Amino acid sequence: MDIRQKIKEDILNNQLPRGLPLRQTALSNRYNVSRIPIRDALLSLKADGWLSPHGKAGVMIPDLHWKEAEDLYLMRAELECLLFNMAFDLIGEQEVKQARSFLLELDQKNLPLISRGELNWCFHNALYKVAKRPTLQRVVEGLNAQAVRYLGFQYGPLGHREKSQNQHEVLLSFIERRDKSAALKHLRQHIEEAGVLLTNYLKKIKTE
Amino acid sequence: MDIRQKIKEDILNNQLPRGLPLRQTALSNRYNVSRIPIRDALLSLKADGWLSPHGKAGVMIPDLHWKEAEDLYLMRAELECLLFNMAFDLIGEQEVKQARSFLLELDQKNLPLISRGELNWCFHNALYKVAKRPTLQRVVEGLNAQAVRYLGFQYGPLGHREKSQNQHEVLLSFIERRDKSAALKHLRQHIEEAGVLLTNYLKKIKTE
DNA sequence: TAAAATAAAAATGTATACAAAAATAGTTTT
DNA sequence: AAAACTATTTTTGTATACATTTTTATTTTA
């Protein structure tokens, strides 16, 4: 597996220090590769919002912040509805079937967070991809990837797994009935609700 | 100046071959640096949508496509209105003044395209930044940076410079009158109009 | 002749070595 | 004692060298 992915997992599982600078040499020892691929990974993760600058040259793992979560979910709501709207008429049985298969995988317990994030994106993307809008799709994919940093709360203290799965099912049923406006409205609510729950939780634990 | 920026300029000015793979060695000779910083720049530009994959490992300069332009401007319209809405009540004389100074710079003739792109972003950002929403701002900045690839059309055959400048002025006057809903509506129209003009033009020259 | 397989080449990816820059510790000065 | 400067150490950035992969050209086979 590639370094970038390993670092993301280690960030999610709190295996790397938060706030302190990540040292390329230390990471190159940890993952048994030279500094070059480490450097690549750090630059790339910084560009994707998984790392932030530390001082003039270093990078660090940024804190999770309600403002970031809120922004990510606000953007997801707007852009995914835009994309879903473009896709809707082109979604066929094929896509619904594929989406359902990802849903089934998501039902597994003890799935690593990063896999949950990927599968969740695969579900949504199975519906979006028929729109054939690569640029919009790429941005939306990036937002979903960033939101993964917050998944520990959703599947942990917020216990949002079951509700989210139900909403996914309902979305598919609206699609099968070809009820576009209901599907759109439901998708927006699905995203907004997750965002509000997460944001409020983050605000709360901040003040405590 | 850093390599990344130079490559962007050379892409805009058609100094590099479109569609063909960009060879790291060739670029390292062209810019008189080793392959490592070239590689960094190519990876980073690929992540930002300025380059696309070519084959299994290489990168190339992607064609300009109406679909991409349309997506970029649709996203800009949604997200910038979101951000502007958050910023509006916090925009003071300071910010309007700063925005106007960028507008003045944009009035210069014979400004390189890449500078026009930067100044245009600076104008918008001068208004957005008071919202203090780094995540949303970063995504919007990325969209603006991608849209720069299409600026050659806007300032060339479309001759959209003057109109755009007028719209910027009108936006500032709505802000000074503290007319939020008019300002918001106008910002959306400003972005959507630019998008529609660009998209239609790209569609047209495609079929000719 | 076209397709598949193989061999040669050229390109990218990674490791190590070195240069430049940044961070730290120590010293001096006020 | 605090601030400012200097020297040292550490860290990142870049160059060169090597390994691996990918691409291209050639040959073989159907």
Rounded CA-CA distance A25/A112 in Å is 27
Predicted pLDDT of residue A202: 97
Domain boundaries, chain B: 3-60, 66-207
Contact between chains at A75 and B79 (C-beta distance less than 8 A): yes
Pairing verdict, β A58-60 and A21-22: antiparallel
Residues of chain A with pLDDT under 70: none
The DSSP element (H or E) to which A60 belongs, if any, is strand A58-60
Rounded to a whole number of angstroms, the distance from the CA of A109 to the nearest CA of chain B is 32
- pLDDT, residue A207, reads 82
A59: left (phi over 0), alpha (psi -120 to 50) or beta: beta
B54 C-beta neighbours (distance < 10 Å), count: 15
The CATH architecture of the domain made up of B3-60 is Orthogonal Bundle (1.10)
Strands B21-22 and A21-22 turn out to be unpaired
In terms of Cα–Cα distance, which of A181, A191, A66 is closest to A121? Answer: A191
Q: Do domains A3-60 and A66-207 have the same CATH topology?
A: no
Residues 11-70 of A with CB under 7 A from strand C: 33-37, 40, 55-58
pLDDT of residue A114: 93
Min Cα separation B35/chain A (Å)? 12
pLDDT at B53: 97
pLDDT at B207: 82
Quote the pLDDT of residue B4. 97
Count of A-B CB contacts under 8 Å:
64
A138 vs B74: CB contact, 8 Å cut-off?
A: no
Which of B139, B140, B188, B192 is the best residue to mutate to test the A interface, defined by the most A CB atoms within 10 Å of its own CB? Answer: B139
- Å between B15 CA and D18 C1'? 32
- What is the CA A2 to C1' D29 distance in angstroms? 39
Judging by beta carbons within 10 Å of its beta carbon (0-12, 13-18, 19+), is residue A206 exposed, middle or buried? Answer: exposed
Interchain contact, B49 vs A135, CB within 8 Å: yes
pLDDT attached to residue A21: 97
- Pick from B63, B66, B71 the residue to mutate for testing the A interface (most A CBs within 10 Å): B71
Instruction: Quote the CA–CA distance of A80 and A187 in Å, as a whole number.
Output: 8
From the alpha carbon of A2, which nucleotide's C1' atom is closest?
A: C13
* Predicted confidence pLDDT, tens digits, chain B (208 residues): 799 999 999 999 999 999 999 999 999 999 999 999 999 999 999 999 999 999 999 999 999 999 999 999 999 999 999 999 999 999 999 999 999 999 999 999 889 999 999 999 999 999 999 999 999 999 999 999 999 999 999 998 888 999 999 999 999 999 999 999 999 999 999 999 999 999 999 999 988 7
Test B48 with A48 for CB contact under 8 angstroms: no
A66-207: CATH architecture: Up-down Bundle (1.20)
pLDDT digits (tens, 9 = 90+) for A91-137: 999 999 999 999 999 999 889 999 999 999 999 999 999 999 999 99
CB nearest A79 (choices: B44, B67, B75):
B75
Q: How far is the CA of B30 from the C1' of C19 (A)?
A: 22
Dist. CA B41–CA B100, nearest whole Å? 33
- The answer to whether residue B136 neighbours chain A at the CB level (below 8 Å) is yes
